[in-house]
Amino acid sequence: MDKDIKISIKNLYKIFGPTPDVGLEYVRRGMNKSDLLEKQNHVLGLRDINVDMRDGEITVIMGLSGSGKSTLIRHLNRLIEPTAGEIRFGDEDVMQYDETQLRKLRRERMSMVFQKFALLPHRTVLENAGMAMDVRGKKTEDYEAEARKWLARVGLEGNENQYPHQLSGGMQQRVGIARALVSNAPVMLMDEAFSALDPLIRSDMQDLLLELQEELKKTIVFITHDLDEALKLADHLVILKDGEVIQQGDPQDILLNPNDPYIIDFISDINRARVLRVRSIMTQPDRDDIEYAGDITEKDNLETVLSRSKGDTSLTFRVVRDGEQVGALTMKDLTRALVPTEASSERDNRA
- Structure confidence by residue, pLDDT tens digits, 173-217: 889 889 988 888 999 999 988 887 888 888 988 998 999 999 999
What is the fold of 275-350? CBS domain Like (3.90.1280)
Helices (H) and strands (E) in the chain, counts: 17, 13
**Residues of the chain scoring pLDDT < 70:** 1-3, 341-351
* pTM assigned to the model: 0.86
Domain with CATH 3.90.1280.20 in the chain: 275-350
Residue 342: the pLDDT is 56
Residue 44: the pLDDT is 96
Q: 3-state class of 218 per DSSP? A: coil
Measured distance CA(62)–CA(69) in Å, rounded:
6
Q: Which amino acid is at 188?
A: M
Q: Would you tell me how many other CB atoms lie within 10 Å of the CB of residue 350?
A: 6
Residue-by-residue DSSP string for 105-137: IIIIIEEEE-TT----TTS-HHHHHTHHHHHTT
Q: Would you tell me how many other CB atoms lie within 10 Å of the CB of residue 23?
A: 24
Domain with CATH 3.40.50.300 in the chain: 52-267
Question: Which residues, in sequence order, are CB contacts of 53 under 8 Å at separation 6+?
Answer: 5, 6, 7, 8, 9, 59, 219, 221, 236
Measured distance CA(94)–CA(123) in Å, rounded:
33
What is the fold of 52-267? Rossmann fold (3.40.50)
- Per residue in 35-75, pLDDT (tens digit) is 999 999 999 999 999 999 999 999 999 998 889 999 999 99
Residue 1: the pLDDT is 59
Which own/partner pairs from 199-207 qualify as long-range (CB within 8 Å, at least 24 positions apart)?
201/168, 201/169, 201/170, 202/229, 204/170, 205/170, 205/173, 205/174, 205/177, 206/232, 206/233
Half-sphere exposure of 272 (CA within 13 A, CB side): 21
Residue 3: the pLDDT is 65
Measured distance CA(129)–CA(176) in Å, rounded:
7
Residue 351: the pLDDT is 40
Half-sphere exposure of 35 (CA within 13 A, CB side): 8
Helix (H), strand (E) at residue 351: none
Question: Which residues, in sequence order, are CB contacts of 307 under 8 Å at separation 6+?
Answer: none
Q: Would you tell me how many other CB atoms lie within 10 Å of the CB of residue 114?
A: 15
Helix (H), strand (E) at residue 225: none
Most distant pair of Cα atoms in the chain: their distance:
72
